[in-house]
Structure 1
Amino acid sequence: MTLPVAAKVVSIADGMAADTVTLDEAGRNRRRIAMTSDGGIRFLLDLSEARLLRHGDGLQLSDGRIIAVRAKPEPLYRVHPQDALHLLRLAWHLGNRHCPAQIDREFILIRRDHTLRAMLEGLGAEVEDIEAPFDPEGGAYDGGHHHHD
């Protein structure tokens, strides 16, 4: 039996998907891999280049079905700054360490790392342990990524 192939990432509306696939951030950064949806649909992801699949993306299968991508919660830190300027300083320090980060107006999300936690707390940030989907910013050369309210 030949697996359906997902070679295209599409925008989807609620209710359009035949199923979902729930992956952590590392599992969503792919180009080519055999996958199984949450409901058991087996398919081959075969994109032209590696990319981070975002929560809400759709993978269009060669048979026409769409599989919705869902971000799996993972252990993170929510970093709370003192104010907007402090948020910028914290983001600079994280970026200087090439740390993937999801940046919001009110906080920054990063993967748990005790060394980074100590640094951030030393810089005056409040650091909270959470479990949440992780959708970090893309690199400067991948077209960027913006979080919407």
Structure 2
Amino acid sequence: MIIDKVIGNVATLEKRAPHVERVYLESDHLVKRIQRVVTDHGNELGIRLRENRDLVDGDVLFMDEKNMIVVSVKEDDLLTIRPTSIKQMGEIAHQLGNRHMPAQFEGNEMLVQYDYLVEELLQELAIPYEREKRKVKEAFRHIGHSHD
């Protein structure tokens, strides 16, 4: 089966099928418009999205009266950074920006993918953080840039 569009998201769907199959994806695979995946029931699917959009956790790839296939994002190894002041936020944001490291924000937390050098930097700057396994809502976007 080839999937060419996302039907909706389980968070907003009014009607659901009774049986759910899941496609477990790493967060960096959410940005791929073309890929081959296997459901947790062993069914192989091709994804070739027509629209230019990223997949997100809970996206419904297929649904009929009995079955639906839903995207589930695997947990990432993250550093959850919790600066206690605007100064700490500025310091770590500047350092991460110099490394071209993508970050996401949830409430007062900054999320970055685990990197031992960033962990050492956080310890050096005495910025509160926690290393944890956690689902992210969207893929981390790496932005290409060169210093000419």
Larger radius of gyration: 2
Sequence identity of aligned pairs in percent? 25
Structure 2 gaps of 5+ residues are 144-148
How far, CA to CA, are the matches of 1:60 and 1:89 in structure 2?
Answer: 45
TM-score where L is the length of structure 2: 0.72
**Residue 93 of structure 1: how far off its partner (Å):** 3.0
Would you say the 8 A contact 1:87–1:107 is kept in 2?
no
Q: CA deviation at 1:86?
A: 3.3
User: Take 2:50 and 2:90, find their aligned partners in 1: how far apart are those partners?
Assistant: 35
Q: Give secondary structure in 1 for the equivalent of 2:121.
A: helix
Secondary structure at the counterpart of residue 48 of structure 1: coil
Aligned to 2:117, what secondary structure does the other structure show?
helix
Structure 1-normalised TM-score?
0.72
CA deviations on 1:126-146 (whole Å, 9 max, x unpaired) are 121111113356579xxxxxx
- The structural deviation recorded for 1:124 is 3.0
Higher strand proportion, which one?
1
- C-alpha contact 1:5 1:43 (8 A) present in aligned 2: yes
Question: Residue 38 of structure 1: which of 35, 40, 65 is its match?
Answer: 40
Q: What residue is the counterpart of 1:72 in the other structure?
A: 74
Matched positions, count = 136
* Cα pair 1:77 1:112 within 8 Å, conserved: yes
